[in-house]
Amino acid sequence: MKILVAIKQVPDKNARLQIDESGTRIVETDLSWEINESDRYAVETALRLKEARGDGEVVVVTLGPERARKAISSALAMGADRGIHLVDPDFQGGDPLCVARALAAVTRAEDAPLVLCGTRADDDGYGETPILLAGLLDRPAVFLTIGVEPLDGDRLRVVRELEAARQEVSEIPLPAVLGIQSGIFDVRFTSLKGIMAAKKKPVSQPTPTELGLSAEQIGKAGRRLEVLSLAPPEKKGQCEFIEGKPEEVAATLVEKLRREAKVL
């Protein structure tokens, strides 16, 4: 079974972000980049499904500029078989619907019965791509997937996370799209052998024309969502440390709760 895994390169979670002069983008100079967290779990899930079945192919695909090739290399080092990089300028600058259109075209070209995505990206946090992709492909979709195992035939048993610590267990037919939640499995360690092997694995760069897409369907030309401005979160509170002996700290805290917070 061929499994297509959509991954995204995002800024390192510990990076200090700055907004550029336009007020609509972050400054990318000198930033460190990494695979989106839930996408790493999607890659791990695909590799485990392949191992459980004893055959198949794991193909990773990313949409992004030249720097995003590093995300593909990281997934190949984990064990994916090959990569697809949608690096053509016409793909860039789109919204989740444009990304889903591009991924849908790749899925059809690859004839992949199973597509795995992370639940949401750590940078924009839309969480729309898996569902939009499933709609475009007319496939069943499971969001917030925290467990998956192959069954006999073209079926999967899938566990979905619900509210209040509840779970939903379903059996779904293939083809399908799964949105993988972080923590579904322990992500494997990338070995030096895997890193060296990744350098020899193929990475293709199909153009929109080769995928049957027009410029009006993708990238800046096809987007319906426009970012008007970015701003850092407002500071709405503050933290105060109270020092001293336990009885002094308790007395001070009670006094502040009574006079300042007015909750007593």
Q: How far apart are CA 151 and CA 172, in angstroms?
A: 10
Residue 159 lies in a domain: yes
Does 13 have pLDDT greater than 90? no
pLDDT on residue 245: 92
Does 16 have pLDDT greater than 90? no
Predicted confidence (pLDDT) per residue in 23-47, tens digit: 888 888 888 999 999 999 999 999 9
Q: What is the DSSP letter of 34?
A: E
Residue 172 lies in a domain: yes
Does 238 have pLDDT greater than 90? no
Q: Are 115 and 129 in contact (CB under 8 A)?
A: no
Task: Encode 149-166 in three state secondary structure.
Answer: EECCCCEEEEEEECCCCC
Residue 59 lies in a domain: yes
The β-bridge partners of 179 are 117
Q: How far apart are CA 3 and CA 116, in angstroms?
A: 7
Residue 254 lies in a domain: no
pLDDT on residue 94: 93
CATH at residue 184: 3.40.50.620
The burial of 241, by beta-carbon neighbours within 10 Å (0-12 exposed, 13-18 middle, 19 or more buried), is given as exposed
- pLDDT mean over 132-137: 97
Residue 230 lies in a domain: no
Predicted confidence (pLDDT) per residue in 153-166, tens digit: 889 999 999 988 89
Q: Which residues, in sequence order, are CB contacts of 172 under 8 Å at separation 6+?
A: 140, 142, 155, 156, 158
**In the chain, pLDDT over 70 holds for what percent of residues?**
100
Q: How far apart are CA 219 and CA 88, in angstroms?
A: 10
Predicted confidence (pLDDT) per residue in 173-217, tens digit: 999 999 999 999 999 999 999 999 999 999 999 999 999 999 999
Higher pLDDT, 25 or 86: 86
Does 8 have pLDDT greater than 80? yes
Enclosing domain of residue 155: 2-222
Residue 70 lies in a domain: yes
Q: What is the pTM of this model?
A: 0.86
The β-bridge partners of 160 are 145, 168
pLDDT on residue 240: 83
Residue 53 lies in a domain: yes
Q: How far apart are CA 86 and CA 224, in angstroms?
A: 20
Instruction: Give me the chain's average pLDDT, please.
Output: 93
- Phi first, then psi, for residue 133 (nearest 5°) are -60, -45
Residue 235 lies in a domain: no
Q: Count up the domains in the chain and report the number.
A: 1
Q: Are 100 and 217 in contact (CB under 8 A)?
A: no
Reported confidence tier of residue 263, pLDDT bands at 50, 70, 90: confident
Reported confidence tier of residue 15, pLDDT bands at 50, 70, 90: confident
Q: Which residues, in sequence order, are CB contacts of 189 under 8 Å at separation 6+?
A: none
